[in-house]
Amino acid sequence: KGQIDDAKRQASAEIAAARAESAEASARTKAVEKQLKDAVEKGEADLRQLDRQHAAETVALMERNERDVEKLQRQMEDDRASADSARAALEEQMAAAATAAQEAVERAEKDAMRAVDEAKAAKANEGKIRQHLETMKDMIQEAKVVDQRNAVLDRDMRRELERRKKLHEYVEDLKGKIRVYVRVRPMSESEEGKGCGSAYTKNNATSVTYLQPDKAPPEDKKNFDFDKIFAGTPDMGNGQHQVFEDVKQLVLSCIEGTNVCIFAYGQTGSGKTFTMVGPGGAIGSNIDSSTGQPLDAAGVTPRAAVELFNVLQERDALCTAEVDVSMYELYCDALVDLLKEPSRPGQKEPDLKVKLAQHTESGLVEVQNGTICRASTLQELTDILEAGVRNRSTQSTKMNAESSRSHLVMSFVIRSTNRRSGVVTSGKLTLVDLAGSERVDKSGAEGQRLKEAQSINKSLSAIGDVVGALTSGTKHIPYRNHTLTTLMSDSIGGSAKTVMMVCCSPADYNAVESVNALSFAVRCKNVKNMTAANPAAAAAQVQSLRQELARLKKAKGAADEGPKKGGAGGRRK
Ligand code: ADP
Ligand code: MG
């Protein structure tokens, strides 16, 4: 029982402890319940609080949203306004641009219109311009032509001055004199056949010595001094062109208004025809028809014809010219007009009468009823001369088969008119191929031949007398003593320039005839200054020289001035 009571007291302590514990637990449950209840209440309060809070937040949010929306709306409105204004500005700009574009288009259109108008006007003008251009072209062409003509004139002028200088010297030298050239041809076949020896020695350019087989020493040789000696073959300086080179100046002198005479003197067969015309006496065949140039064998006449037309051609810019040709043969004292048309049967031949220069208007010898043929070209001139040569009545003598027993006188009157000044200048070129100078006895002539020979001697003596009178200075020159000298009166003496070509055979067989011819030429050489001996003639010559000088000065002045349009007449277009 102490244990039971201990267990009872323990159990009772435990019951009491359990009870305390249960009370405590119940208190605790009650506290928890309270706590729970508080917590619920608090939760509910919190919830309510939260609800309230949420509601307030929602309101605030909504308010903020509203504000935001409002703000956005305002912003949008602002944006719209600015967009509107931007658009308006843009529209304005666009309108301005459109206007500008429109204006530009209008301007461009206007420009285009104007351009079109201008083009139209230009087109209309084009015709005028073209015309103008054509005129310009014409003017340029004309200027070119004038320029060329100027150049030609200039060249011509310079050449002329050069030529004139030479000519002046030559003419001065020749004036009042008879220039004498000697031409000794090569030995002919017949002379060689005869075994002839040479009869001459050419000492130098102006001196020749001939044998005189009929004389005894010391006179068996004779020296002759002349202006020039041509002897031998062409390679020895005795070619046709070399002989012509020396007389060429005279053609120009003639165109300048001087009377010139070139005559060949010598026995038959000595080379007169060869010298004056060419081999066989043919003229046309001595000129190359394609080139218009003289052939090597051509003598003085064809060469002079070529030179004459060459110079006239060169001077075409300065003057127009006419060439009048006449051609006579003097056979047995009878004058034959070689250019006369053949007369009809039964028709009476008109009498030919030679008038001295002092009795004619032209101041030149004239043949009444004589034929004058105008030659405008070289071809025409050679045709005329050919026709005349064909009319010659040549006969052969015992001395040479081809000889001519008549004198041939060819004259070219050259009348040139200065295109500007209108001054007319006339000169006469006379070319004479005389009949043979041999003595009658040697030719063994009888009958008609004798008559021929006598008549030839008479005519040559007449030339001798004229030359003699000119040499001695007598007032009276016996031109009228013979038809031949009358015909040559304007070409020998006075202010005429005369060249005598003394033709000689080189053979000793013909030496006497050669010496005779040379001796005759010595008389001609002695003609010094014909005018000095004759005061009236001297005065006349001074006058004519003055005129010539004035004319030259005038012509030079005119040429220096240059060409003028539509100069004084003439052929110029
Ligand atoms: P002329 O007329 O004086 O009677 P030609 O002129 O008829 O003499 O000449 C006689 C001959 O001599 C001709 O056959 C001619 O061809 C020739 N002859 C003359 N001179 C020369 C010369 N310089 N050179 C060559 N042959 C010439
Ligand atoms: Mg002859």
- How far, in Å, is the centroid of ligand 1 from the Cα of 403? 10
- How far, in Å, is the centroid of ligand 1 from the Cα of 480? 31
- How far, in Å, is the centroid of ligand 2 from the Cα of 272? 5
In a domain, 525, yes or no: yes
**Which atom in ligand 1 lies closest to the alpha carbon of residue 274?**
6
- How far, in Å, is the centroid of ligand 1 from the Cα of 185? 7
Question: Cβ(516)–Cβ(210) under 8 Å?
Answer: no
**Which atom in ligand 1 lies closest to the alpha carbon of residue 270?**
3
Question: Cβ(508)–Cβ(197) under 8 Å?
Answer: yes
How many domains does one find in the chain?
1
pLDDT reported for residue 186:
97
Pocket lining for ligand 1, CB < 6 angstroms: 185-186, 188, 238, 266, 268-274, 279, 400, 402-404, 436, 503
Asked if residue 483 belongs to a known ligand binding site, the reply is no
Please report, for the domain that includes residue 338, its CATH number: 3.40.850.10
**Which atom in ligand 1 lies closest to the alpha carbon of residue 277?**
6
In a domain, 90, yes or no: no
At residue 182, φ and ψ (nearest 5 deg) are -110, 135
What is the C-alpha separation between 261 and 409, in angstroms, rounded?
Answer: 10
In a domain, 436, yes or no: yes
What is the C-alpha separation between 468 and 213, in angstroms, rounded?
Answer: 27
For residue 268, the ligand closest to its alpha carbon is: 1
User: Nearest C-alpha to atom 5 of ligand 1 is from which residue?
Assistant: 271
What is the C-alpha separation between 73 and 69, in angstroms, rounded?
Answer: 6
For residue 232, the ligand closest to its alpha carbon is: 1
- How far, in Å, is the centroid of ligand 1 from the Cα of 393? 19
What is the C-alpha separation between 247 and 499, in angstroms, rounded?
Answer: 8
For residue 271, the ligand closest to its alpha carbon is: 1
Asked if residue 266 belongs to a known ligand binding site, the reply is yes
What is the C-alpha separation between 38 and 115, in angstroms, rounded?
Answer: 108
User: Nearest C-alpha to atom 22 of ligand 1 is from which residue?
Assistant: 185
User: Nearest C-alpha to atom 14 of ligand 1 is from which residue?
Assistant: 279
Torsional sign, CA 116, 121, 123, 126: negative
pLDDT reported for residue 548:
64
User: Nearest C-alpha to atom 11 of ligand 1 is from which residue?
Assistant: 269
**Which atom in ligand 1 lies closest to the alpha carbon of residue 400?**
4
Asked if residue 268 belongs to a known ligand binding site, the reply is yes
CA dihedral 300, 373, 422, 540 (to 10 degrees): 60
Question: Three-state SS string across 101-169, please?
Answer: HHHHHHHHHHHHHHHHHHHHHHHHHHHHHHHHHHHHHHHHHHHHHHHHHHHHHHHHHHHHHHHHHHHHH
Torsional sign, CA 555, 558, 563, 566: negative
Question: Three-state SS string across 318-359, please?
Answer: CEEEEEEEEEEEEECCEEEECCCCCCCCCCCCCCCEEECHHH
pLDDT reported for residue 534:
39
Asked if residue 209 belongs to a known ligand binding site, the reply is no
What is the C-alpha separation between 137 and 296, in angstroms, rounded?
Answer: 47
User: Nearest C-alpha to atom 1 of ligand 1 is from which residue?
Assistant: 269
How far from the centroid of its chain's Cα atoms is residue 113's Cα? 52
Instruction: Give 293's DSSP letter.
Output: P
In a domain, 480, yes or no: yes
Asked if residue 363 belongs to a known ligand binding site, the reply is no
In a domain, 389, yes or no: yes
Per-residue pLDDT in tens (0 to 9) along the chain, 573 residues: 777 777 788 878 878 887 888 888 888 888 888 888 887 888 888 888 888 888 888 888 888 888 888 888 888 888 888 888 888 888 888 888 888 888 888 888 888 888 888 888 878 877 888 888 888 888 888 888 887 777 777 777 777 767 666 666 666 565 557 889 999 999 999 999 999 999 999 999 999 999 998 888 888 999 999 999 999 999 999 999 999 998 888 898 899 888 999 999 999 999 999 999 998 778 888 888 888 899 999 999 999 999 999 999 988 888 999 999 999 999 888 899 999 988 777 878 788 999 988 788 888 999 999 999 999 999 999 999 999 988 875 444 434 433 468 899 999 999 999 888 888 999 999 999 999 888 766 556 677 778 888 888 899 999 989 988 887 778 888 999 999 999 999 988 888 889 999 999 999 999 999 999 999 999 887 776 444 333 444 455 556 666 666 766 776 676 566 544 433 333 333
User: Nearest C-alpha to atom 10 of ligand 1 is from which residue?
Assistant: 269
Q: In terms of Cα–Cα distance, which of 257, 300, 241 is closest to 171? A: 257
User: Nearest C-alpha to atom 17 of ligand 1 is from which residue?
Assistant: 271
- How far, in Å, is the centroid of ligand 1 from the Cα of 265? 13
**Which atom in ligand 1 lies closest to the alpha carbon of residue 268?**
4
At residue 476, φ and ψ (nearest 5 deg) are -90, 120
Which of 185, 268, 398 is the pocket-test mutation for ligand 1 (most atoms within 8 Å of CB)?
185
The Cβ of residue 69 has, within 10 Å, a number of other Cβ atoms equal to: 11
In a domain, 550, yes or no: no
What is the C-alpha separation between 573 and 569, in angstroms, rounded?
Answer: 9
Q: In terms of Cα–Cα distance, which of 357, 314, 169 is closest to 253? A: 169
What is the C-alpha separation between 6 and 13, in angstroms, rounded?
Answer: 10
- How far, in Å, is the centroid of ligand 2 from the Cα of 266? 9
Domain that holds residue 190: 178-342+350-530
- How far, in Å, is the centroid of ligand 1 from the Cα of 379? 25
SS3 state at 498: strand
What is the C-alpha separation between 382 and 178, in angstroms, rounded?
Answer: 28
Which of 274, 276, 301, 513 is the pocket-test mutation for ligand 1 (most atoms within 8 Å of CB)?
274
At residue 551, φ and ψ (nearest 5 deg) are -65, -45
What is the C-alpha separation between 100 and 113, in angstroms, rounded?
Answer: 19
DSSP codes joined into one string, 61-103: HHHHHHHHHHHHHHHHHHHHHHHHHHHHHHHHHHHHHHHHHHH
In a domain, 448, yes or no: yes
The Cβ of residue 223 has, within 10 Å, a number of other Cβ atoms equal to: 11
pLDDT reported for residue 549:
67
